[in-house]
Amino acid sequence: MISRVADHCFWFGRYLERTENMARILAVTQNLALDAEIPTQQCWLPVIIVAGQKAHFGAEHGEEAAADGELVQRYMSFDEDNPTSLRSSISAARWNARSIREVVSLEVWETVNELHLWVNSEEAREEFRSSRYAFYRRVRQLTQLCLGLTQSTMLNDTPLDFIWLGVLLERVGQTARTLDVHHHALTNLPPPPPSEMSAQAQGALRRQHRVVETALWLSLLRACSGFEPFMKLNQGQVSEQAVAQFLLYEPRFPRSIRHCVHAAFARLCEIRPPDSVALPGGESLERLQLLHQWVADRATEAFDPMAVHAALTHVVDETAMICDGIGRELLGYGPPDSNPTVTSQ
């Protein structure tokens, strides 16, 4: 398999996963902004941060514009200058699929092309204006359909391994960033009321504080498609420790960091078997194996809420290094400082 085809397969998977993840986060955040009694900027700023577009958004619209939910949603849905918007990610996924049309199945191509044509149509903009929930649901459903079709209509060989390696590594990064941003915001909520207030008033505000905190934890679970699985495992007991451990270490949840790192390692082993020392990709494989073992070791240790940020930062940094290594060793990229395509995808 030539590196050009592998590169398009890898990024096709990444862009599909990025699209589905962003549509889900936008839908969940919109519901949170409508239902929870918290400042709008506290709802929408994490969306921009998770997408890595805080500096770009601030330069274009000003930092205070993050309090405008409608503006943030338009920016994250249709802005062509935003490389992480739904429109940009869908166009990139379609371009990569078109470049390897002989590799992806007809059903996969038709689905991603349908999504691309629809999101650029007036019909999509009208649905965005009239029914935001239906707009995000359609994006999610078509990307989920496309991901499912890759598994059910393509041969289980190297192109599919590269597609799903991209999906899984993108999912690791997205879950880690989402949990990190929301965990930081949740652990820095305003403190309970001061002691000079009456006992009755303090009790009422503490209850309200707990309701808001629970709503935010549930919103985080929904943003990662983890609400129902979490509730089945924890019998409805929502806490910082339970949610963080679930999204980090639950091996049975397909979006947990532990599960995705394990599955990505298995895919890379299919592409580049560990015993094939003469083949390229050994450095990336070793790094991914070390990350897999590191996450598994952390899962057996006592939970420390103060260490969550450091753990997630390590996961994000290592995932980025692994993706860069795969690009250099398997996808034909040059050194990062001499080949702009490493960061332009």
Per-residue pLDDT of the chain (345 residues; tens, 9 = 90+): 899 999 999 999 999 999 999 999 999 999 888 877 778 888 899 999 999 999 999 999 998 999 999 999 999 999 999 999 999 999 999 999 999 999 999 999 999 999 999 999 999 999 999 999 999 999 999 999 999 999 999 999 999 999 999 999 999 999 999 999 887 766 655 555 555 555 555 454 455 556 677 888 888 999 999 999 999 998 878 888 899 999 999 999 999 999 999 999 999 999 999 987 778 889 999 999 999 999 999 999 998 888 899 999 999 999 999 999 999 999 988 665 544 333 445
Contact partners, residue 312, CB within 8 Å, separation at least 6 = 176, 177, 179, 180, 183, 248
Whole-number pLDDT of residue 287: 96
Per the listing, tokens 């990709």 go with 281
Whole-number pLDDT of residue 338: 41
Alpha carbon distances (Å) from 266 to 26, 262, 263, 285: 31, 6, 5, 10
Whole-number pLDDT of residue 281: 85
Q: How far apart are the first and last CA of the chain?
A: 20
Q: Where are the alpha helices (DSSP H) in 197-335?
A: 199-223, 227-234, 240-249, 257-271, 282-299, 308-329
